[in-house]
Structures are given as structure tokens and as C-alpha cells.
Structure 1
Amino acid sequence: DNHSWDVHTGLSARMKNQSAPMLDAGLSTLIADLDERGLLEETLVVAVGEFGRSPQRGVSHSEEYGLAVRVLCEGAWGFAATPRLEPRAVKAVVAQAIAQARKNAMLRPGPIELAPAPAAVGSWVSPHEVDPFTVPIKDKAEYLINAANATLKVPGVKHVDAFSFAVREEKLLLTSDGTRTLQVFFRVNPGFSATAVDGRRGRFASRAHEVEPMLAGWEHCQAADFVGAGPKIGEDAVRKLHAASVEPGEQTVILAPSNLWLTIHESIGHPTELDRALGYEANFAGTSFMRAEDTGKLRVGSERVHLVADRTQPGGLATTAWDDEGVAAQRWDIIKDGVLVGWQTTREQAGWIHEPASRGCSYADGYGSVAFQRMPNVSLQPGAEGYTTEDLINATDRGILITGRGSWSIDHQRYNFQFGGQYFWEIRNGRLTRPLRDVAYQANTVDFWRSCDMIGGVDAYRLGGSFSDGKGEPGQSNAVSHGCPPARFRVNVLNTGGDR
């Protein structure tokens, strides 16, 4: 038989046009190379305050490694995986994948065709200064506890949560196209929040530090300076608790990068996943109002709106050297001059829209998961005018500045949505006047982006993101970043408090 093997989170000998027994020569190398590869995760949590009688501290540590084989046989995919790396188990996995592909071939509407990709050979380690797994747990815990204790000194603050989450992922890939790559990724996700309580009115308010997860090492957690920032976070929580409730209605809003990144993720990132647009994917909030035939035609935003997909962005959680099909990382336009121009694709999907090559968006979240299309870093590009946040505020007569991430919802076509935030400032006559509470904004994707009339410059650009973007069935989780400067929009502001 003419088989094509694609091994994820693992290594094998090149096997193009070879049958399963020819695996023997590569098995010993495979097992030796995989012995130290895998996925390592660590979570450290500290909770201190009146909600618990004593400080709550917890550490979780997990590690996994294994091998997976994906085969394209008789025009259909087959997949199998194992945590056992002895020769007999590996040979069994290959046989299982081939058998599955043959069964799938009986049901396929047509043969799967892969866009060509040059063979990739090399290694890459994500930039970092301090491997988070070399920092003693005691030092990490002290960092979080000291921040919590400093914040609890603020009058009115009754509870503090602090955590750090770190991942080291090592991925070795070999394909029958001649690709052989080894990549090591370090991702960190620190977090910190304070809760203020008004016992007399039975009300509370929380304020989170706006540090974002990053493709980086422990140095990113240290740079957040939780100890130094803690008292300010606590004071913000108290001010938020006693802030005036927002007046609902149509208003101008300035969205800080710490808020806007999530709106980009939900309203642009997900609907430009090609499988959602074509109806092949609907898990985790649906398909897409955008269609392949809209390419080059649909005006999504104003002419100043330019969003790019970029798997090379420094610090981006979805940044890589090669995707899980060996396609080199790249940067391309998604929305250009406000018009839909690009999609997120894999080698299989490129031909669906008559493109000659994949955009390099294949990813599996572990050796036991099938690689499929996942979101790259998708970011709003800075404006040429070089505006600062202060410039946007000064140019706004009446509006609201919204920072940080809050609750949100979006429909199953990624069209109608509403988003909250962490902190809200009223703007009057070009200046910040007072904090507000109970704020959310509502719009649809097209009206929202078409209303964008000011975008900050490169110096105001910041990177946000999520460690846990869900997709697929069985579900998989992808880490992804979204960069942007502050930007100004016209939306419908909602009052979420109900007790104005």
C-alpha cells in the first residue's frame, strides 16, 4: 500500500511508500528521542481573606508524554496514539491508524487532498529568560502570598486571589514529506485579583490585574510586580464598589487593549476559521456569519481597520516556527482596509478555497489529540497617526473608557455580542471624570467594526490572550494571543446592575 504517516508529538523513521513492517529500523531512535519529550504543566494558587478562615494554597503538577500517528490512506485520515513507547505498542498504533483510515475511506465523499508544503528540518525554542520549572515552588508561593498580604492592607479589601500557571511543551514531528522538527514552548499565565466588600449594602466588587498570559518564562510573572501593583488593584476594587452606576444608551467607548483583545478573538478570530465558515465546525459557540464567497467583498469594518493573523509575533501564545503539519509560521491579512480578505487554513483546507498553500494553522493540544485547524494570533494593527490613549480621551466629548476583561456572550454565528470589562471611567469634555460600574457594551460584529473611527499608534499596542480557547469534539484547548492598541467605537451601553 501507499501510505503517508504524519507523527504528532513523536518521531519515526521516514516511511513514505513503505509498509508497516519497515518501522522496525526507526523504533529504537523513536523511543530514545521521545523519552524526555512531553507536556509539563504546573498551577500554583493562593487565596487569602475573610472568605476563608485561613490562607488557601494549592499546587498541581502534571506531566504527560506519548506518541501519535496520523495516516492518510485510501484518501481518508486515520489516527491512533499511545503513552507506551516500546516497539510493540508503536507498531500497534500504526496498524490501528491504518485500519481506521480504511474504514473512514468507505464513508468519505471524496479523497482528502493536501496542499504541498516544503520539507522542514530544524529545531526552535520559544524565547524566554527563566524556565518557570527551574524556579522553586517556595519562591513562587512567597511572591503570590506577599502580593496578597500587601493588598489586604487596603481598607475595604477583604479577599485576594493570586495564581501562576506554567506550561512547557516539547513537540517532535516527522512526516513522510521529509519534515523533522523539534520545538519547545514555554507559556506562563499569572493572575491576581482583589475583592472589596460593603457589608452594610451587601455588595462586592472585584478588580483583576491586567497582566496577560504570554509565550515567555518566569520573568514575565516577575515583571507584573504583583507586590508593587497590589495596593493599586485593591484601591481600584474599593472605588469600583462605590462607583456610580452607568447610564445606559448609545455611547462612544474607548476600549483599552486589555479589553479589546477578547472582542477581536470572538468577533474576528473565530468567524474567520474556515471550517466554521463552511459549516464543518460548530462546537464552542457555533459557525460563522462570514462565508467563503464573501472574500474580498464583505466590509467588516471601517477603512482604518486592519487585522492580521501572525504565528511569528513575539510573545504570542500561538507563535511557533512550524505548525503540526510542518508548515512554516507566517503572517497574512485577515481584514484589510475593513474588508474580509483572508482565512485560517490547514493543508487539507487550503484547496477548499482554491489557495495553493496552507496558512499553517494545524495544532493538536497533546499527543492523544488529532491535529486540526486552530486559531493563530489575530491582531488589530496600529493606526498611522500614532495616537495614545490620552489622545483618544482628549478627542472624546462624552464616552466611557473600558479596561480589562469581564463577562461576555456572543451568538452562534459570531454576530451579535455583548462584553463587560474590569474597570470603567466616565469621559466628559475630553477627560476622565469618575469611575463607573455595571457597564457592558452590545453591538453586532459589522456595526461595531464599521463604527471604529480612531485607533491608537504603535506605542500604545499591547498583547492580550487566553490560555484556554476551546474547539472540537472531543474538545481541545489552544493558547492564543491578540494584540491591539486602544480604539474608539460607537455601541449600545447596557446597565448590568439592575439597582440604579
Structure 2
Amino acid sequence: MDRRTFVKATSLGAAALFVPAYGRLIAAEALAETLDPAQKKRLADIALNASKDAGASYCDVRIGRYLNQFVVTREDKVQNVVNTETTGAGIRVIANGTWGFAATNDLSDAAVARAAKQAVAIAKANSRLQTEPVQLAPVKGVGEVSWATPIKKNAMLVPVKDKVDLLLAANAAALAAGANYANSTLFLVNEQKYFASTDGSYIDQDVHRIWAPMQVTVVDTASGKFKNRGGLSSPMGMGYEYLEPDAGKRIVQPGGVVAYFSAYDIVEDAKAAAKQAKEKLKAPSVKPGKYDLVLDPANLWLTIHESVGHPTELDRVLGYEANYAGTSFATLDKWRSKNFQYGSDKVSIFADKTQELSLGAVGYDDEGVKTKRWDIIKDGILVNYQAIRDQAHILGEKESHGCCYADSWSSVQFQRMANISLAPGKTQMTPDEMVKDVENGIYIVGDGSFSIDQQRYNAQFGGELFFEIKDGKITHQIEDVAYQIRTPEFWNACVGVCDERDYRHGGSFFDGKGQPSQVSAVSHGSSTARFNGINVINTARSLG
């Protein structure tokens, strides 16, 4: 499921659609339960031993308990509250140089052993078609270790009433500020993941994520026209403290937009959303042409995701994703040349699975590889991709980047996008100071609709809020803006990035990939950045 499908479904209150294939509905109180670590280790050893006895040269087992809580409101009503749990074991092996995988939701000793043997049988059957044996980059076993998202308050343990009250307060604030309709949602994820492998690792991880999307609508009853303004929150790898605004930092940006850092005030944002949606109704439509764009991180994260994150996934570069969501223009020959100018010298983009508060932050990936940070683009030059254990040799590297993930114990793990972020500028600059140098431009906040071709080369992006910039000053809101890019041309048009004081995360809670499709959560950090001479179209005119 992608983000747009999720938003559409939540607006209809269709929370039950998100129950996983092996999931079950549970009471909210059951969200506090955990599996016994000793039992997980014992079951893991059963799987490892059974696979070796059946002829596997390598085995890893993931025992997982995946929890979701989902609260949907509209105006003064609660539309849905759903709690789901899915628990089981996924076992991956190499036998005869070939991968095999099997899974079970039965955590009895016999069922786990049976799944391990089945994985080996599948690998041996697959080996008849294998032309080259799997080459795994080495990983040193770490023994028994644990890692947890550094949360201050477990959102799963907060009473449902408190969550409902907060969402209804946000809706009420929007209505009081002039909105005709308001809906808000809270989505919580807790992945309790245990990984063990024949390399000698037993890794217990407790991962938490939170997201509070919101939508406010204002209607002009005289004309029948309406405008929406979505919430400016970002999904985060945090606990419930994210929704306690006194714990975080807020800064007023150009146009009076409030930027949220480590905490989100959904009630304050609801009031602002109603006000800005009303201003949208009377905002003039953009005149198409070339503009200098000042892109807030709440907008730029999606452009990073689509034009850098996806095209530098090595499996996509190699064509493994060609049947679903395309390939990549950033081919190996460009990387091998060591001088492919992906962007200007202001553009340095890195991958980092250790970044605090990010959606993708974990201690170890789903192959037991300790996570790290590495460069993708350095001073504008393409220097690396995103690769896992059986891909590292293609790049001549001796270890995985640690970006392997599965969205469930029942799914096989594969290469997924790490947190891909634009490094802050080295010269001190605030967004206000960046705007002062723009003669004819547009300041864009929030993500909107987008389209991009299968090679991630030609694309078009919208936004949530648009402000005209004239002679270094924000004048007023405008509407119907979308900017068009060719990926290398766009990033080479980057002439400045604000410093680390403005650095913020955006991200996707549901990034789809693979067949059968899986979802993952990934963040993209940046500071506000400027891009000169970008083509802007009028979306209202484009639609006729």
C-alpha cells in the first residue's frame, strides 16, 4: 500500500483493511504484551539446527510480533479504533548455493522445525534453475544483543481515550477556526523482532513508529469551491512524546508556517490549516514559467525519496524491479566513471539507518548487519548505492550496507531504501535569509501529488502550500503549482542549502516495493534548499 491509498482509506474509516494476512484483532490492553526472549532463542535454535540437518549452508530466522493501532476521527465522531497483532517465524536458508524461504504462524517446536526443513527443500528445488551461487558478504556474529527505539513514552500504552480526545480537540480547533470538515488519524506501529543466524547472532529489537495525518477542508458556499490543507506532521520513529508539543522545538518559517522538529502540536496545526485553507480559496493561480524554488523539508523529502532514494537502490539499478515500479537512470556505468554529476557541489546525500527519530532507524537490519551511515552523493558526484549482503560483491565491497528489511515475519527480507537525506549546508543560513536573495520565486511547503517515470528521471511534484516570492519578500499564497524536473538537471540547479539548525525529517509510512508487495517506513532529512530556474506549470490549466 502506498501513502495515497492509505490516506484515501483512512478518510473512509476503512481501518479493518489493514489487518495483515496472518493478523488478528486484539484488545488495546494486549498491545502491552511481549514474547519471552528465552522462548524466542529456543525456537531460533530449533530452526537453525533443523535447517543445517536438512543440508543448509546458511540459515537465518526472524521471530516477530508486529502490532498496529489505528484511531480514525472525523469532526466530533470516532470512526474507527483498530488494534492488530500478527506473530510468527520466517526462515531463510541457502542450500546448493540458492535461497529458500518458508514461514509459519505456529510457534510450536514441531512447526518451526518443519518450516526450516521446508525452506531447505524449496532452496534445493530452486537450485535447478540457479546459474550462479549466492555470494554473501561476511557478517561477524554478535552473540546476544538488543536494541530499542529510544522512546520516552510507549504510545501503545497510552489510553485510547487520551488519543481520541487529542484528535477530536484538533478537529474542533479546525472547525472553530473556520473549517467545514476535519478528520484526523493516529497510526502506531510496534515491531518486536528477534533475529538469529548461523553466523552466531541473536538480536532482539523493539521498534516504534508514530504518524498523525490530518485533513482540513474549507468550502465557499457561494461558489461551491473547496480547498484542503493537510497536516504538516511527519511520521517519526518516536513514542507518544511526539504528540506532546511542550517537549519539542517549533520555529516560524517564511509565510508564517510553523516548522515542527521533535514534537508536533496537532491542535495548533489544525487551527493554522483552517486559516490557510481559507486563504487558498482566494489565492491567485500561478502563472506558468521558470522560477527559483525555495523548498521546505516538508516538501523536499518526497523529491529526495523519488529522485534519489529509489534510483540508487541497487536491485532497481540491476533491473530486478523492472516489472514493478521501474528501473533506474543511475546505472552502474555512471557510478564506475567516478565523475557523474548527479547534482551541484551543494548536494551531498547520505544514507543512514542509525539516525535518531527517523522511521528507518534500527540497530541491525533483517540480515543481522549492524546499521551505519554512508555516502550516496558527495559534493554532487554519485559515489555509491544501497546494497545488502548478496549484492555487496557487485560493487566490490566487502560488507553489506545494512539496509535489508521485511515488513513481516511472513515476508522474505530484501533490499529496502535506507533513510536517504540531504546534508545541511556548511554556511550558516536560515530560510528567511535564503528567501531574501530570491527575485522571482515560489516557497513550497508540504508534499502533494506527484508522478515520475519508471527510470526516476522525469518527474512532477506538487505541494501543500505555495507562497509567491518577489524581490526577496513573501507576498501572498498562490495556488495550482507543480514543478517539473529531470533528476540530474534539478539537483544541479541546487544553489544553496540552509544549515543544520533547519534540518528536519519528512518520510513515508508506507513505501511499496516488491512482488508480492511489501511496505516499509523511511525518513528523508534536509534543511530548506533553493533550486534556480525550475519549470513550474499551472495544474488547473493542465486539467483544462
The number of equivalent residue pairs is: 477
Aligned pairs for 1:72-83 (under 5 A) are: 72-83=94-105
State whether residues 307 and 333 of structure 1, in contact with CA within 8 Å, keep that contact through their aligned partners in structure 2. Answer: yes
1:25 corresponds to which residue? none
Measured after TM superposition, the shift of residue 454 of structure 1 is 1.1
Which residue identity lines up with residue 100 of structure 2 in the other structure? G
| TM-score where L is the length of structure 2 | 0.85
1:491 corresponds to which residue? 534
Distance 1:363 1:19 in 2: 27
Distance 2:120 2:506 in 1: 41
Distance 1:347 1:173 in 2: 15
State whether residues 9 and 170 of structure 1, in contact with CA within 8 Å, keep that contact through their aligned partners in structure 2. Answer: no
Identity %: 42
State whether residues 168 and 184 of structure 1, in contact with CA within 8 Å, keep that contact through their aligned partners in structure 2. Answer: yes
Which residue identity lines up with residue 257 of structure 1 in the other structure? P
State whether residues 120 and 328 of structure 1, in contact with CA within 8 Å, keep that contact through their aligned partners in structure 2. Answer: no
Distance 1:297 1:114 in 2: 29
1:130 corresponds to which residue? 153
1:438 corresponds to which residue? 480
Matched, 1:269 2:309: yes
1:11 corresponds to which residue? 44
What does the per-residue CA deviation read over 1:202-256, in whole Å, with 9 as the maximum and x for residues that have no partner?
Answer: 2111112211000000111233222233211110110012111000111111000
Which residue identity lines up with residue 159 of structure 1 in the other structure? Y
Which residue identity lines up with residue 356 of structure 2 in the other structure? P
Matched, 1:105 2:151: no
1:338 corresponds to which residue? 380
Distance 2:184 2:142 in 1: 41
Which residue identity lines up with residue 269 of structure 1 in the other structure? G
Distance 1:18 1:376 in 2: 32
Matched residue SS, 2:244: helix
Which residue identity lines up with residue 149 of structure 1 in the other structure? A
Matched, 1:149 2:172: yes
Matched residue SS, 1:177: coil
Distance 1:10 1:494 in 2: 58
1:288 corresponds to which residue? 328
1:384 corresponds to which residue? 426
1:226 corresponds to which residue? 266
Aligned pairs for 1:176-255 (under 5 A) are: 176-223=198-245, 224-255=264-295
CA change 1:214–1:294 in 2 (3 A) is same
**Of 173, 177, 184, which aligns to 1:162?**
184
RMSD: 2.0
Which residue identity lines up with residue 321 of structure 2 in the other structure? E
State whether residues 9 and 171 of structure 1, in contact with CA within 8 Å, keep that contact through their aligned partners in structure 2. Answer: no
**Of 392, 401, 404, which aligns to 1:350?**
392
CA change 1:204–1:56 in 2 (3 A) is farther
Matched residue SS, 1:130: coil
Matched residue SS, 2:444: strand
Measured after TM superposition, the shift of residue 38 of structure 1 is 0.1
Matched, 1:410 2:410: no
Distance 2:41 2:268 in 1: 43
Aligned pairs for 1:5-44 (under 5 A) are: 11-13=44-46, 15=49, 18-20=52-54, 37-44=64-71
State whether residues 117 and 327 of structure 1, in contact with CA within 8 Å, keep that contact through their aligned partners in structure 2. Answer: yes
**Of 439, 456, 459, which aligns to 1:397?**
439
What does the per-residue CA deviation read over 1:328-363, in whole Å, with 9 as the maximum and x for residues that have no partner?
Answer: 111000000101001101100001222111101111
Unmatched runs of 5 consecutive residues or more in structure 1: 1-6, 23-29, 49-53
What does the per-residue CA deviation read over 1:168-224, in whole Å, with 9 as the maximum and x for residues that have no partner?
Answer: 101101100111100000100112221111122221111122110000001112332
2:365 corresponds to which residue? 323
Which residue identity lines up with residue 59 of structure 1 in the other structure? V
Matched residue SS, 2:467: strand
Distance 2:100 2:122 in 1: 5
Matched, 1:279 2:313: no
Measured after TM superposition, the shift of residue 151 of structure 1 is 1.1
Which residue identity lines up with residue 262 of structure 1 in the other structure? L
Matched, 1:140 2:163: yes
Which residue identity lines up with residue 493 of structure 1 in the other structure? V
Distance 2:42 2:530 in 1: 43
State whether residues 51 and 117 of structure 2, in contact with CA within 8 Å, keep that contact through their aligned partners in structure 1. Answer: no
Which residue identity lines up with residue 266 of structure 1 in the other structure? E
Distance 2:132 2:182 in 1: 56
Unmatched runs of 5 consecutive residues or more in structure 2: 1-39, 246-263
Distance 1:136 1:56 in 2: 15
Aligned pairs for 1:288-307 (under 5 A) are: 288-295=328-335, 296-307=338-349
Deviates more, 1:465-474 or 1:294-303: 294-303
Distance 1:226 1:317 in 2: 19
Distance 1:8 1:240 in 2: 57
CA change 1:347–1:313 in 2 (3 A) is same
Matched residue SS, 1:142: helix
Distance 2:428 2:107 in 1: 54
What does the per-residue CA deviation read over 1:409-458, in whole Å, with 9 as the maximum and x for residues that have no partner?
Answer: 10000000000000000000101001001011001101100000011100
Matched residue SS, 1:65: strand
CA change 1:330–1:196 in 2 (3 A) is same
State whether residues 334 and 342 of structure 1, in contact with CA within 8 Å, keep that contact through their aligned partners in structure 2. Answer: yes
Matched residue SS, 1:38: strand
State whether residues 71 and 82 of structure 2, in contact with CA within 8 Å, keep that contact through their aligned partners in structure 1. Answer: yes
Which residue identity lines up with residue 496 of structure 1 in the other structure? T
CA change 1:128–1:9 in 2 (3 A) is farther
Distance 1:256 1:284 in 2: 30
Which residue identity lines up with residue 300 of structure 2 in the other structure? L
Distance 2:230 2:41 in 1: 37
CA change 1:344–1:9 in 2 (3 A) is farther
Measured after TM superposition, the shift of residue 8 of structure 1 is 12
CA change 1:217–1:125 in 2 (3 A) is same
State whether residues 316 and 463 of structure 1, in contact with CA within 8 Å, keep that contact through their aligned partners in structure 2. Answer: yes
Which residue identity lines up with residue 357 of structure 1 in the other structure? E
Measured after TM superposition, the shift of residue 65 of structure 1 is 0.6
Matched residue SS, 1:474: coil
CA change 1:8–1:442 in 2 (3 A) is farther
1:55 corresponds to which residue? 77
Distance 1:120 1:376 in 2: 22
CA change 1:373–1:65 in 2 (3 A) is same
